[in-house]
Amino acid sequence: MRERLRRNISSKLVGEVASRLISFAFNLVLARGLGAEGFGRYAYAYAFAATLALCGELGLNTLLTQEAARNREKAADYIRRFAPLRLASVAIVAATTVGLAFGAADPSRLLEIALLAVFMGANTLLDYHTAIFNAHERMVQEAKMRVATRIGVSLAGIAAVALKAPLLGVIAAVSIANLLAVLAGAAYRRRLGLYFGARWEPRFVGRALATAVPVATASLAINLYFYVDNLLLEALGFADAAIGEYGAALKILEAAQGLPLVVVGGTFPVVAQLARSGTSQSLAPFFSRVSRLAMLVVLPASGVGAILSPPVARLLFGPGFEAAGFSLALLALATPFYFSNLVAIYLLIAAGRRWQASLSRLGALALKVALVVALTPSLGVAGAAAAMIATDGLLFFALFAGRCRAGLAEKGEGALLLKSGLAAAAALGVWAAVRGAGVAVEVLAVAAAFAVAFALLRPGRRPASAEPHVSHDGGPA
């Protein structure tokens, strides 16, 4: 088991990190080439097309990985019957996106959205290839395909920017490259013996769609949660330049999102198999380790990231993106909760708790939308980042409470969360005291404060005269 997880996660790590770094490099080139206003147009059109594409994704790729991993002996037949459903959903949503763009979007943006609908449809089919690789735990091959795709698409876009093509030309270049990548992925699967053809069975389609409802809802809410900000900012009347600055900050978070997805990709098929025959106790370690990773690694790293955000934004995106630094700092503070929640939701799906995952994400999406609308009039675009901090923080503790009730939390996890929270509060107080002393001093002071406070704090510690508390494993608590 441990060797499977190590192999899966290490392969996913290479593929996910490399592909996201390549995509992030392309977005840097695009932002610098288009400027804040042009990048804002791109961010809005991308969010519009992505939102509609997500409606057609229906959680089908996640469902495919789960069911094929649980029943390896029937995986080929399942994938064969699944293929027509996947292709039909992509075609329907691409057409719907273009149709809605006629009525819902600025006419000057219509072609941009239409071409990005093609791009997003190709992305969904690439994710379909990924789902098949993941179901068979062929993570090395999936990583190769993913990296090759990102290189090809990014080079096409960078070439268009270098040739001074307008935004529409850049979008056309990456969309064509993405379609070619879909064909190349199909050829690669055929060469590896993972191409199973297609078979249309209406009865299977009905059962698959019914099973996919909670997965689809959770998947849609997860992705809308990320893209809805740009749509709301446009609807609230913010200028393209402001949306571009916030969109630049989101692109950095999107690149970093590869880390939790590595954990998801490596553990999902293993958890799906365990859930078929195991108990809550056998699944609890997966959830608890994710929570510990968020509190012990991502939480202190996010504090350092918040301090470094303004100079990093200036360095990466150049003139015209100065305001992105403050939004990026707030988004950095949200990452421990956001990353942990993202992994926990997918693990809940893998464990068969689909409706719990679905309702959790829907509630978070509704709360975030309400907070964005409430906060942006006074805070500007940074209000969207503040809404993410509040929403993901609440969701994190709600999921923890739910896991405790379901037996999916290990002993001592609550004490760790309290200890980490108190250490973070101490670090925040130190940061407030040393603000303005220089980035290097601030980073060192915050990191030291968190480490020292974490080492010294003992939640629930009794007075010295009291009998020492003994933990469940016989050692001192």
Give the model confidence (pLDDT) of 237-262 as tens digits: 888 888 888 888 888 887 777 666 66
In percent, the amount of the chain with pLDDT more than 90 equals 8
What are 23-35's pLDDT values in tens digits? 888 888 888 888 8
Q: What band does 73 get if pLDDT is binned at 50, 70 and 90?
A: low
- Helix 299-317 to helix 439-456 angle, to the nearest 10 degrees? 170
pLDDT at res. 71: 66
Q: What band does 81 get if pLDDT is binned at 50, 70 and 90?
A: confident
Q: How many residues does the chain have?
A: 477
The tokens of 456 are what? Answer: 């010294």
Rounded (10°) CA dihedral 125, 167, 388, 429: 130
pLDDT at res. 231: 83
Residue found under tokens 């975030």 = 368
Domain ranges of the chain: 2-410
Q: What pTM, to 2 d.p., does this model score? A: 0.65
Question: Which DSSP category does 134 fall into?
Answer: H
What are 384-405's pLDDT values in tens digits? 988 988 998 888 888 888 878 7
Residue found under tokens 């979007």 = 105
pLDDT at res. 280: 57
What are 157-206's pLDDT values in tens digits? 999 999 988 888 999 999 999 999 989 988 888 888 877 667 777 776 66
- pLDDT score of 475 more than 70: no
- pLDDT score of 473 more than 50: no
Mean pLDDT confidence for 217-225: 75
pLDDT at res. 477: 34
Mean pLDDT confidence for 270-282: 64
Mean pLDDT confidence for 254-282: 66
CB of 450 within 8 A of CB of 423? yes
89 against 449, higher pLDDT: 449
Residue found under tokens 């503070």 = 333
Q: What band does 374 get if pLDDT is binned at 50, 70 and 90?
A: very high
CB of 45 within 8 A of CB of 230? no
Q: 470 to each of 413, 454, 473, 474, 475, how far by Cα in Å?
A: 16, 20, 8, 6, 6
286 against 367, higher pLDDT: 367
* Distant-in-sequence contacts of 380-383, Cβ < 8 A, 24+ apart: 380/238, 380/242, 381/233, 381/238, 381/242, 381/243, 381/245, 381/246, 381/323, 381/327, 382/246, 382/326, 382/327, 382/330
Distance CA(395)–CA(337), nearest Å, equals 8
Distance CA(69)–CA(273), nearest Å, equals 7
Distance CA(50)–CA(238), nearest Å, equals 20
Nearest in space to 268 (alpha carbons), one of 195, 342, 194? 342
